[in-house]
Chains A and B, each alone.
Chain A
């Protein structure tokens, strides 16, 4: 159901068209509309209401309902250019198609990057086979915008021993600790590590007109029916609409960015909910559609002036994709944990955040305690190998394990590799006539080593927590994911980056790109906090440029 909002005509030359209403697009729309500009947001999915959300595991926990994977005929995958691409039977590129984007169904972990994330190339040195580079901005430049995310989106948490400088305290205390958090604390204490409350974009008390978390246990891959999770659907987008200068146009699928004879963006061609091809004129275009969709739109926007796609003179649009690695160990405990209750995770351990040359590879990460299974998922493949897969023993094991188990999960760096890339697959057009995605991706050897090293850490932590039965999840090669990072990377040099330090495309002065695609390095998982800090910062600069006629 679409709320009451300002409506613009296609022929209106609006100040900004923002493509995407997710973590980044929602922030940009609110900030630009609040600054007095006319904004049209094109969102390919529908407008859902929180009261329509449900706990339907079959629909949502398999990551498909209302995601791109539910409407795509196929995605292709190959590990290297030398291989023939095949149907990606694995995870593929996954994101939500609805107002709020993937912020509707994310787990809401809001780790800030640390200063080292922005300057790691300088500290570590080059890494063979990668485009490992410093960011053109620093943590200190971004810190005010991290704080803005804390307060405008609503982040609950408490300071930890390794936290970077913050200019303002968390607006809300942490949510109540879960048993898995207590056990992670126990493990950390036993091993001389440090557990701290997980910063979450989840209201621990009523906040900004939203109710506190009701601990329903359905954060990841579900929408929050209580509105306690800080999706852009319930935080910034209502504020954008309230300005009277923003229209979120749903079920509107962007097809290409039009450019004029001067090489400036002039509008967006899109397909509306009735299948009609339309065009919204604009003075400035902002792409915030996620690292996959932004890539597709740029590569589809070819013209004689931009034969390889828009903003792609570097050839790097779609390249350097990073997903963040992970490694997970599961453990069963003597007493019930009931991990189906509460938020995804309440405690994290960041002692291994920094890469350390003593490990023999580049890579760092954080560890949290979470249990990723609903009943169907756990019954299908949640038990250890030692338990049978059907029959009475299996059935009793489901009962013995489901309420008594949790997982320690690592969230790890991925290196930017030029040949890890999204390209377009015209052989499998979607229902809107757009080419599908072909992912070429192979873990860098250091990424593989990092995953194995972190699996050993989660294993020893699970043992230290006192689990009676400990088993590791297989460490598998990455073939997709939900973190879609690095495909239009930020940099000072137009020869090897797509956007500048203000997210302006090097090649197109009135085209800005701000979402996960802007990332230069991957961080340690949990990218949304940084995506939104970048969006708040970008909006500040874009508004400044617009007001000074510098676009």
Chain B
């Protein structure tokens, strides 16, 4: 799949819109959420239908594959549900709620009255593409990515799913050789 929005334009949108900049500034404040519990039961700040839509949205940002987790296995939607209830995300919550509502509205237009999550996968992707340039999309995408890759204390990145996705051997410390090129250089230096 190729995005209709160029990466650079996307980054520019994230970096320059006052909303997105606000989001980026707020992300680190999530540090204070270190006590976020894992949520496996009822949703806290998303309605069940919103959670279903957010979950489907997340699954298209980072789809699951056989043997390789995605945003779903990482529990990214639970991260989003948790952080939307915090005071410093108050300004973001309406955008997310409105965006999820618009996804549902697009589903109704497409003939489904049971919401975005009930659409076929291809119809879901079409609806997301239509919203790619909206602030909601950038915000929701960033939240999904943060929920997938952030420290597990925030409720996502379950069982290190994010580290598996990105190919990182996550350890508190490492020792040389670190990568293929320094290992090769060390071999040749040793041989010399």
Contacts and interface: CB of A to CB of B under 8 A. Distances in A.
Interface string A380-394: 110111111111111
Contact of B7 (A57, A342, A387): A387
A84 to B, nearest CB: 15
A376 B149 contact: yes
Majority DSSP secondary structure for residues of B touching A: helix
Given A182-B181, A336-B179, A381-B14, A375 B168 contact: yes
B141 A395 contact: no
Given A62-B24, A65-B31, A381-B14, 12 more contacts: A64-B25, A87-B18, A90-B15, A177-B182, A179-B181, A336-B180, A374-B149, A375-B166, A385-B7, A389-B141, A391-B60, A399-B165
Contacts of B21: 89-90
B6 interface: yes
Interface in A42-89: 54-65, 69-70, 87, 89
Interface in B166-192: 166-169, 172-185
Most chain B CB neighbours (cut-off 10 Å) among A56, A181, A376, A387: A376
Interface residues of A, number: 64
Most chain A CB neighbours (cut-off 10 Å) among B10, B28, B150: B28
A58 B168 contact: no
A500 B4 CA distance: 58
Contacts of A62: 24-25, 27-28
Contacts of B149: 57, 374-376, 379
Interface stretch (B40-48, B62-70, B106-114): B62-70
Contact of A379 (B34, B145, B182, B184): B145
Contacts of A180: 181
B151 interface: yes
Contacts of B24: 62
A392 B178 contact: no
A462 to B, nearest CB: 14
A378 B166 contact: yes
19 contacts: A56-B151, A58-B150, A58-B151, A60-B31, A65-B31, A87-B18, A89-B21, A90-B15, A179-B180, A216-B172, A337-B178, A337-B181, A338-B169, A341-B174, A341-B178, A389-B3, A391-B1, A391-B3, A399-B166
Contact of B174 (A342, A384, A391): A342
Majority DSSP secondary structure for residues of A touching B: loop
B61 A338 contact: no
Interface of A: 54-65, 69-70, 87, 89-90, 176-183, 214-217, 226, 333, 335-342, 374-376, 378-381, 383-395, 398-399, 402-403, 474
B166 A215 contact: no
Nearest to A215: B174
B99 interface: no
A375 B181 contact: no
B163 interface: yes
Contacts of A178: 178-179, 182
A337 B181 CA distance: 7
Contacts of A375: 149, 162-163, 166, 168
Contact of B2 (A54, A90, A374, A393): A393
B11 interface: yes
B116 interface: no
Nearest to A381: B11
Contacts of A59: 28, 30-31, 151
Interface in B88-147: 125, 128, 141-142, 145-146
B173 A214 contact: yes
Nearest to A60: B28
